[in-house]
C-alpha cells in the first residue's frame, strides 16, 4: 500500500524538475517520462472512459489501485487489488484527503455487462479489472473520479529502494517466519521510528495476520503521510534519475476526458502537494466496521466518511487542542447570522446573483442588495472564478471570506476594491459570481471538534522505570519516565524497550518504550536526540504548557503524537494506529514525563 506515496513521489519528481531548473535535455526527458506513465494496457484504457473530466481550479479525485500477482496463483490467474484508496487534491482548502477501503469490506460490485452482486470490494478487480474497481467505488461513494492510477507491488518495492528507503514509525514488534502458498508473508521488524527498505515497507503495510484490515488501512495511510514528508524534505535530482524509470515501468495514469496526462498537469499537482501548509494531509476512515473476514457497516458511515473526505475540517486541530486544554474554542470566522453579504452578477447569466444569494440565505447568511436601487451587477461580466471580497475594516472579515469561498469551490478571496465597494452597501463580504458557479453551493465541512474528556490515565512509572535504568548508560541524553499511562495499558511483554541508532549515520541514539493496551493496541514513547527527523517536519501546532514546549501532530481531530522539546532531546508520545487514546489522555501522558532520577514509585 501507501501507493499515494508513489503518486506523490511522482509529483514530487515533477516539482523537482521545475524547482531545480534542470536544462533543456532534462526538460524533454521529463515530458517523455510523463507520457510513459499514460494508460497503455487495454484494461486501464477501458476504465478511463468512465472517468470524469477534471476542471481547472476545481478539486480533483484520483482512485489509486495497488495490485499483485503471486506465483502461487498460477499462470493466467487474475491479479488481485490489495489496496484501493481515493486521493483528493482540494485547492479550496489547501489540503490533500485520503480515503481507504478495507479489502474485506462487503459492497455491491459493479462490473460492465454483469448484474451487480455483493462481495468483498477487492473482488471488483479480480472479476473485471480496474474498470470494475472504478465503477464499484463510484457507485459506493457517489463521487466523480478524475484520475485512475494503478501500481503493482514490484514497482512499490523498487521505488522505495531507489529512494533509499522509507521512514516509518513501527508501533511494535512484528514477526512471522512461516510462509508458503497458503500462509501469511514473513516479516521481521523491530519497534521504533526507522528507515525501512522496499520489501520491509511492503511487509509492514500489508501485514494483517494478527490484527485486521482496519489496522492495515491505518498502516497504509501512515505510510502515505510519512513518505510525503520524506519526499518533501530530502528529494534530490539524483533520486529523480534513479527512480523515474521504475515509475514508468510500474505505474499507469489515466485521466478523464480521453487525453493523456500532460506535463503541465503533473507540475501543477506537484507544486500544489509540495506547497501544502503543515498538517494539511487528512486521513479519513470508514467507521463502524464490524466482522473479521468480512466487514460490514451502515451506509450512513460511508456517507459520513465521504463527506469528511470531500470537506475536511482544516481547523479541527486548533479546535481539538482548545477543547483538550480546557480553553474556549476560538471561531476564526463569525457565524453566518453575523455575516452580511452583497451578491453581484459577474458572469452575465441572468439570475446568477439571486440564485447564489438564495443559497447563501438558506445557510443563514444575511443577504443585502446594492444601495439606491442599483442593479446587482458587477462592473463587468467577464469573471471566470467567483470572487469573495472582504471589507478589511470589519473584524474577522478575512476569515469569513475564506469560509464563504469554500462554499463556491474554486472562489478566490481578496480585499474589497474601490470599484466594488460602491455596490457593497456596507456588507462584510461582497460576492461576485463567476462562470464557475452553476447554481449550487458545496457542503460545509463536518465539525469534528471532539467533546472534552477526563484523561483516562493511572500512575504507571513502575512499568518502565527499571527498564530505563538498565539502558541509561547506553544513550547520551537524559531519559524520561512516563509517570502516568493509559488506564488499561502496561509495558509490552514481547519487546518492551529497544535502544538503537535512529539515523543511518549512527549519530543519534533512540529509546523506544512499547505499551500494550487491551488485546491488540499499542502506543509508545520514543526518546531521541535527533532533532530533525523527517516525521517532525509536519507538526500541526506548538503549545507551551507550564513552561514546557510541546509540538502537536494531528490526524484530523485526533492527536496522534505529542513531542516534548528540551535542549538535549525530544520525547515523543505516539498514539495507537487507530488513535484510540483520547487527546486529553495523550496530553496527560506527555505532561507526566519526568526525569528518570526523579521517580521513586
Say what the pLDDT of residue 71 is. Answer: 45
Say what the pLDDT of residue 22 is. Answer: 34
Pick the CATH number of 336-433 from 3.40.50.720, 2.40.30.110, 2.40.240.10, 3.30.70.2390: 3.30.70.2390
Is 336 a residue whose pLDDT tops 60?
Answer: yes
CA distances from 224 to 157, 205, 393 (A): 14, 10, 42
| Cβ neighbours around 317 below 10 Å, total | 24
Say what the pLDDT of residue 69 is. Answer: 52
Is 470 a residue whose pLDDT tops 70?
Answer: yes
Say what the pLDDT of residue 231 is. Answer: 61
Q: How does DSSP classify residue 164?
A: T
pLDDT, averaged across the chain: 83
CB burial class (10 A; 0-12, 13-18, 19+) of residue 299? exposed
CB burial class (10 A; 0-12, 13-18, 19+) of residue 33? buried
User: For residues 478 and 307, which has the higher predicted lDDT (pLDDT)?
Assistant: 478
Confidence label for 55 from pLDDT (cuts 50, 70 and 90): confident
Q: Which of 454, 525, 455 is nearest to 491 (CA)?
A: 525
Say what the pLDDT of residue 10 is. Answer: 40
Query: Taking the domains of the chain in order of start, what are their residue ranges?
Result: 3-163+236-312, 336-433, 457-598
Say what the pLDDT of residue 211 is. Answer: 75
Q: Are 564 and 593 in contact (CB under 8 A)?
A: yes
Is 39 a residue whose pLDDT tops 90?
Answer: no
Q: Same fold for the domain at 3-163+236-312 and the one at 336-433?
A: no
Say what the pLDDT of residue 426 is. Answer: 95
Say what the pLDDT of residue 235 is. Answer: 53
Q: Tens digits of per-residue pLDDT, 189-199?
A: 999 999 999 89
pTM of the model: 0.78
Query: If one looks up domain 457-598 in CATH, what number appears?
Result: 3.30.200.100
First CA to last CA across the chain, in angstroms?
Answer: 44
Say what the pLDDT of residue 215 is. Answer: 86
Q: Tens digits of per-residue pLDDT, 226-281?
A: 776 666 555 555 555 555 555 666 677 888 877 776 655 665 655 566 667 777 88
Say what the pLDDT of residue 357 is. Answer: 95
What is the mean predicted confidence (pLDDT) over 197-216?
A: 84
Is 412 a residue whose pLDDT tops 90?
Answer: no
| Portion of the chain with pLDDT greater than 70, in percent | 82
Contacts of 470 (CB under 8 A, 6+ apart): none
Q: Which of 345, 340, 370, 372 is nearest to 356 (CA)?
A: 345
| Second-level CATH architecture of 3-163+236-312 | 3-Layer(aba) Sandwich (3.40)
Which of 103-112, 456-465, 544-553, 583-592 bottoms out in mean pLDDT, i.e. has the lowest? Answer: 103-112
Which of 80-94, 480-494, 516-530 bottoms out in mean pLDDT, i.e. has the lowest? Answer: 80-94
Q: Are 67 and 153 in contact (CB under 8 A)?
A: yes
Q: Tens digits of per-residue pLDDT, 81-118?
A: 677 889 898 877 788 888 989 888 999 999 888 899 99
Amino acid at each position: 500500500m501507501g501507493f499515494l506515496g508513489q503518486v506523490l513521489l511522482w509529483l514530487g519528481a515533477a516539482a523537482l524538475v521545475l524547482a531545480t531548473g534542470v536544462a533543456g535535455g532534462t526538460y524533454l526527458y521529463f515530458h517523455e517520462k510523463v507520457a510513459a506513465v499514460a494508460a497503455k494496457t487495454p484494461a486501464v484504457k477501458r476504465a478511463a472512459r468512465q472517468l470524469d473530466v477534471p476542471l481547472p481550479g476545481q478539486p480533483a479525485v484520483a482512485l489509486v489501485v495497488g495490485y499483485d500477482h503471486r506465483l502461487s496463483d498460477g499462470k493466467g490467474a487474475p491479479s488481485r487489488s490489495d489496496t484501493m484508496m481515493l486521493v483528493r487534491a482540494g485547492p479550496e482548502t489547501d489540503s490533500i484527503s485520503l480515503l481507504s477501503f478495507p479489502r474485506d469490506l462487503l459492497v455491491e460490485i459493479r462490473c460492465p455487462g454483469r448484474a451487480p452482486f455483493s462481495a468483498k470490494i477487492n473482488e471488483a478487480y479480480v472479476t473485471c479489472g480496474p474498470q470494475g474497481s472504478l465503477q464499484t467505488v463510484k457507485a459506493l461513494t457517489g463521487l466523480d473520479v478524475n484520475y485512475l492510477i494503478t501500481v503493482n507491488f514490484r514497482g512499490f518495492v523498487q521505488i522505495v529502494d531507489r529512494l533509499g528507503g522509507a521512514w516509518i514509525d513501527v508501533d511494535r514488534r512484528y514477526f512471522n517466519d512461516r510462509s508458503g502458498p497458503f500462509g501469511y508473508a514473513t516479516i521481521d521488524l523491530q519497534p521504533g521510528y526507522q528507515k525501512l527498505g522496499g520489501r520491509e515497507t511492503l511487509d509492514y503495510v500489508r501485514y494483517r495476520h494478527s490484527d485486521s484490515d482496519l489496522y492495515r488501512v491505518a498502516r497504509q495511510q501512515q505510510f502515505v503521510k510519512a513518505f510525503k514528508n520524506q519526499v518533501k524534505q530530502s528529494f534530490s535530482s539524483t533520486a529523480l534519475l534513479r527512480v523515474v524509470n521504475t515509475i514508468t515501468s510500474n505505474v499507469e495514469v489515466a485521466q478523464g476526458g480521453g487525453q493523456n496526462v500532460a506535463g503541465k498537469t503533473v507540475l501543477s499537482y506537484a507544486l500544489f502537494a509540495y506547497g501544502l501548509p503543515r498538517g494539511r494531509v487528512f486521513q479519513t476512515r470508514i467507521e463502524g466496521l464490524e466482522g473479521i473476514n468480512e466487514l460490514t457497516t451502515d451506509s450512513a458511515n460511508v456517507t459520513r466518511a465521504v463527506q469528511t473526505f470531500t470537506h475536511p475540517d482544516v481547523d479541527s486541530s486548533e479546535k481539538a487542542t482548545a477543547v483538550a486544554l480546557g480553553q474556549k474554542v476560538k471561531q476564526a470566522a463569525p457565524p453566518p447570522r453575523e455575516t452580511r453579504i452583497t451578491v453581484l452578477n459577474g458572469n452575465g447569466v441572468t439570475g446568477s446573483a439571486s440564485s447564489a444569494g438564495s443559497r447563501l440565505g438558506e445557510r443563514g447568511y444575511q443577504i443585502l442588495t446594492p444601495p439606491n436601487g442599483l442593479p446587482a451587477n458587477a462592473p463587468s461580466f467577464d469573471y471566470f472564478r467567483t470572487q469573495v471580497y472582504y471589507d478589511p475594516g470589519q473584524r474577522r472579515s478575512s476569515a469569513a471570506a475564506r469560509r464563504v469561498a469554500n462554499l463556491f469551490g474554486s472562489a478566490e478571496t481578496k480585499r474589497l476594491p474601490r470599484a466594488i465597494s460602491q455596490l457593497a452597501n456596507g456588507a462584510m463580504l461582497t460576492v461576485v459570481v463567476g462562470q464557475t458557479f452553476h447554481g449550487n453551493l458545496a457542503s460545509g465541512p463536518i465539525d469534528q471538534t471532539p467533546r472534552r474528556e477526563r484523561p483516562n490515565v493511572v500512575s504507571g512509572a513502575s512499568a518502565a522505570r527499571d527498564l530505563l535504568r538498565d539502558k541509561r548508560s547506553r544513550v547520551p541524553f537524559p531519559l524520561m519516565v512516563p509517570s502516568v499511562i493509559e488506564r488499561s495499558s502496561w509495558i509490552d511483554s514481547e519487546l518492551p524497550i529497544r535502544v538503537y541508532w535512529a539515523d543511518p549515520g549512527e549519530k543519534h541514539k533512540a529509546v523506544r518504550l512499547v505499551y500494550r493496551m487491551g488485546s491488540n493496541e499499542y502506543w509508545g514513547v520514543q526518546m531521541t536526540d535527533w532533532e530533525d527527523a523527517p516525521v517532525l517536519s509536519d507538526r500541526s501546532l506548538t503549545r507551551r504548557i507550564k513552561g514546557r514546549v510541546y509540538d502537536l501532530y494531528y490526524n484530523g481531530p485526533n492527536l496522534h503524537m505529542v513531542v516534548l522539546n528540551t535542549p538535549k532531546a525530544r520525547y515523543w508520545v505516539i498514539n495507537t494506529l487507530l488513535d484510540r487514546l483520547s487527546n486529553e489522555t495523550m496530553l496527560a501522558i506527555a505532561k507526566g514525563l519526568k526525569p528518570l532520577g526523579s521517580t521513586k514509585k
